[in-house]
Homo-oligomer: A and B are copies of this chain.
Amino acid sequence: MKIAIDAMGGDNAPELIVKGSILARDEYNVEILLYGKENEIKNIVEKNTSDFNNIEIINAEEVITNDDKPVMALRRKKDSSLVKALNTVKDKQANAIVSAGSTGALLAGATLMVGRINGIERPAIGALIPNMYGGFALLIDSGANVDSKPEFLYDFAMMGDIYLKQVLNITSPRIALANIGSEKAKGDKLTVDTYGLLENTTLPLNFIGNIEAREILQGKADIIVCDGFVGNMILKTLEGSVLELMKGLKSALLSSARSKIGAALIKPALKDFKSKFDYSEHGGAPILGVKEIVVKAHGSSDEKAFKNAIRQAKICCENNVNGLIQESIMRR
C-alpha cells in the first residue's frame, strides 16, 4: 500500500513528519511517498534510517502555508508538496494522502481535485475529541461546511458511523446530535429537521438523540453530528479552554515556594492527567465523502501522531471505508 505524504505540512515539518512516516513504514508495512524539498527530506531520512526500502522522495519546491488562501494556493502552487501529493492520489498512484498542513487547503484539494463521492453533497471533517475517561468522540463536521442542510448532517452521521465501525472498531457507535437541549423539539430548524431524518433512518444507525455541549466530554456519545460552523466552535472552544486552563494552572503552581514543591510532587500525576488529552494516540481527522482516503493530521503532530495518522489512512483503505459509504448512499 502506498501513502502519499505532504512532508512540508505542519508545525513540525519536515523533520517529525518524515520521522513519523519512517516509523509508519516500519510498523505498518506501507510504502511512503514523501513530497517536499528533496535535499532536506533526504537528509532527514538518512539521519533516521539506513533502510531506504519503500521510501520514495518526490521533489516539490513550493509549500502551501496556513496563510495561503486555499483554492488560490492549489491553483498557483502547482509545485507544492500538497498539490503533488494530491495529484498522485487522484491519479490512483497512491492509496491515500496524509497531511498535517493547512486544513483549508487539504479540504479544498480533497473536494476539488480528488472529488466528491457520487451522492455526497458535502464532504466533512471528523475530529476525534478525547474525553476524561480514556474514550473519545468523533465530531463531524468539525469545520468543513457552513450553512448545512439536514441531508448533509444525515450523511455526516452515516459516514462517521462507517468510519468508527471500520477504523476504530466500535460495534454500534452511539450517534448524537449536538443541540441546545435534550428534547426532540429543541434547537434550530437544521437540528430539528436532522433529528427527524436520523430518527426515521433505514440504515443501521444507533441514533441516541440530542447531546448538549456540556456533556460532550462525558463520553455519552461516540459520534457528535453538527454543522461545521457549530462543530468548529465546539472544537476550538475545547482546545482553547484546555490550553488556557493548563497555562493558568501552571502559573498558579509557580506562584509560591510552597506550591512549587507541591507541583514537583504532583508532576507524575499531572503528566498522566494531561495524557488523557493527548491527540497523538488517535492520529488524524479523516475527510470523509471524497473519492480517495484523505487524512488531516493535527497541525502540531509529532512523529507519533503522524505515524498514527498514517495507520488510520491504511485501515481506511484496507477496510474499504469509501466503498461502504457508497453502498450506504444506495440504501439510505
Q: Residues of A with Cβ closer than 8 Å to B?
A: 131-132, 143, 146-147, 178, 180, 187-189, 191, 212-218, 227-230, 232-245, 247-249, 252-253, 255-256, 258-259, 261-270, 272-273, 276
Contact = CB atoms under 8 A, between A and B. Distances in A.
Contacts of A244: 131-132, 217-218
A250 to B, nearest CB: 10
A242 B217 CA distance: 10
A244 B272 CA distance: 15
Contact of A214 (B146, B236, B249, B270): B236
Contacts of A233: 178, 180, 213, 230, 233-234, 237
B243 A245 contact: no
A256 to B, nearest CB: 6
Contact of A187 (B146, B236, B267): B146
Given A189-B147, A273-B252, A241 B264 contact: no
B252 A270 contact: yes
B265 A132 contact: no
A189 B266 CA distance: 48
A264 B262 CA distance: 7
Contacts of A217: 240-241, 244
Could you say which of A132, A243, A255, A267 has the most chain B C-beta atoms within 10 Å of its C-beta? Answer: A132
